[in-house]
């Protein structure tokens, strides 16, 4: 769900978009007529440097067919349709949790990788919320969700209450994302973002319904841009978007409210359909390599779990908490996990009612 925002589509280079009916790990044929391995990779839009795909093919001879999705829900819908056989998939914490629970992914021996030690121990630790034994998910990018605000127009919103008390009516951009918006309300009420209590979820819905007249818009891609352009005073954004927003306007600031937030973790998994796990493992290990991880970081500018990349950052960048969040300050924060089917159904019902009002 977390993507580098851009106004133009990614240029895929050696990676080509799939057409319906394509399958992964198939024996493709190059221009000489020789068999060539192919991996089908599914990722969020603008979430990998296209040159990384070209380099992988050049170094290994393994071709990458590349698909993109906007949200975890869109990704899951395309994956579960079975139209395309995906080999590797990148998604966010709660969706990875669902894929693991449903038996849709394969175990991976990360200890056998040449470069997996570049991933910092604390990020493997975050992953245990949805992958308890670190058997399935490879950390890719991570961060927090908070409030991006114009410091010349509003006071520091130390509490999520700043979004609900009416003091910023008409100047608020909320995420057009069910779990992200409910997370804000749940934290404002002092509840866990992973609650399965129907009463707590209904109270969160009540708060979001009460807030709705004060919300200028519910957006995904353009939330940051509206604050940058001066069209809104504050927006719910991912921490990496806050860094990019400040590049455009130094008056913009980002805060994680005192009640805590969602520590999100986007990860790679190998699907159960992948019939060439050796090739897939090569790609995952390749992503852990310092120079490749640095390329992706430079392209996306979200927080990387690759400690080797963090260690070589200059001091100014490494000290920017939008890029390298201080985990000691993330008290009361949680990693989002998948809800049981009945709670997911309730979430969907409550969110539809909010959007229909």
Q: What angle do CA 66, 124, 339 make, to 5 degrees?
A: 75
The DSSP call for residue 120 is -
DSSP, collapsed to helix, strand or coil, labels residue 166 as coil
196-238: pLDDT as tens digits: 999 999 999 999 999 999 999 999 778 999 999 999 999 999 9
Token digits of residue 73: 């829900």
CATH 3.40.190.10 fits 143-262+329-356, yes or no: yes
DSSP, collapsed to helix, strand or coil, labels residue 148 as strand
CA separation for the pair 164, 217 (Å, rounded)? 15
Class of domain 27-142+265-327: alpha beta
The DSSP call for residue 256 is -
Phi and psi torsions of 17, nearest 5°: -65, 145
The residues spanned by each domain of the chain are 27-142+265-327, 143-262+329-356
Q: Considering only CA atoms, which of 115, 74, 113 is closest in space to residue 91?
A: 74
pLDDT tens over the chain, length 357 residues: 444 333 322 323 333 333 333 344 444 444 434 446 999 999 999 999 999 999 999 999 999 999 999 888 899 999 999 999 999 999 999 999 999 999 999 999 999 999 999 999 999 999 999 999 999 999 999 999 999 999 999 999 999 999 999 999 999 999 998 999 999 999 999 999 999 999 999 999 999 999 999 999 999 778 999 999 999 999 999 988 888 898 899 999 999 999 999 999 999 999 999 999 999 999 999 999 999 999 999 999 899 999 999 999 999 999 988 899 888 888 889 999 999 999 999 999 999 999 997
Residue 347 class from Cβ within 10 Å (0-12 exposed, 13-18 middle, 19+ buried)?
middle
Same fold, 27-142+265-327 and 143-262+329-356: yes
Q: Considering only CA atoms, which of 104, 75, 115 is closest in space to residue 287?
A: 115
């Amino acid at each position: 769900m977390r993507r580098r925002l851009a106004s133009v589509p990614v240029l895929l280079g050696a990676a080509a978009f799939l057409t319906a009916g394509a399958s992964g790990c198939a024996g493709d044929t190059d221009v000489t007529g020789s068999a060539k391995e192919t991996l089908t990779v599914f990722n969020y839009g603008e979430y990998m440097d296209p040159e990384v795909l070209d380099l992988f093919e050049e170094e290994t001879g393994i071709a990458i067919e590349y698909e993109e999705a906007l949200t975890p829900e869109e990704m899951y819908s395309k994956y579960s349709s079975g139209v395309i056989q995906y080999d590797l998939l990148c998604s966010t914490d709660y969706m990875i949790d669902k894929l693991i629970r449903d038996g849709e992914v394969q175990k991976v021996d990360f200890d056998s990788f040449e470069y997996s030690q570049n991933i910092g121990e604390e990020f493997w630790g975050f992953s245990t919320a949805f992958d308890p034994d670190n058997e399935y998910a490879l950390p890719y990018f991570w961060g927090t969700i908070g409030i991006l605000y114009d410091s010349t127009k509003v006071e520091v919103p130390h509490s999520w209450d700043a979004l609900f008390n009416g003091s910023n009516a008409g100047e608020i951009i909320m995420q057009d994302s069910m779990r992200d918006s409910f997370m804000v309300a749940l934290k404002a009420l002092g509840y866990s973002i992973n609650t399965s209590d129907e009463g707590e979820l209904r109270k969160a819905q009540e708060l979001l319904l009460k807030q709705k007249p004060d919300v200028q818009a519910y957006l995904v891609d353009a939330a940051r841009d509206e604050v940058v352009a001066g069209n809104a005073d504050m927006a719910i954004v991912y921490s990496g978007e806050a860094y990019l927003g400040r590049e455009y306007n130094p008056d913009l600031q980002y805060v994680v409210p005192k009640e805590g937030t969602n520590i999100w973790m986007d990860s790679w998994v190998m699907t159960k359909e992948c019939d060439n796990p050796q090739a897939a493992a090569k790609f995952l290990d390749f992503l852990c390599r310092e120079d490749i991880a640095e390329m992706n970081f430079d392209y996306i500018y979200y927080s990387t779990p690759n400690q080797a990349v963090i260690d070589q950052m200059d001091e100014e960048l490494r000290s920017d908490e939008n890029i390298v969040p201080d985990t000691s300050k993330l008290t009361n924060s949680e990693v989002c996990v998948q809800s049981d089917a009945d709670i997911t159904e309730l979430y969907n019902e409550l969110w539809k009612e909010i959007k229909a009002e």
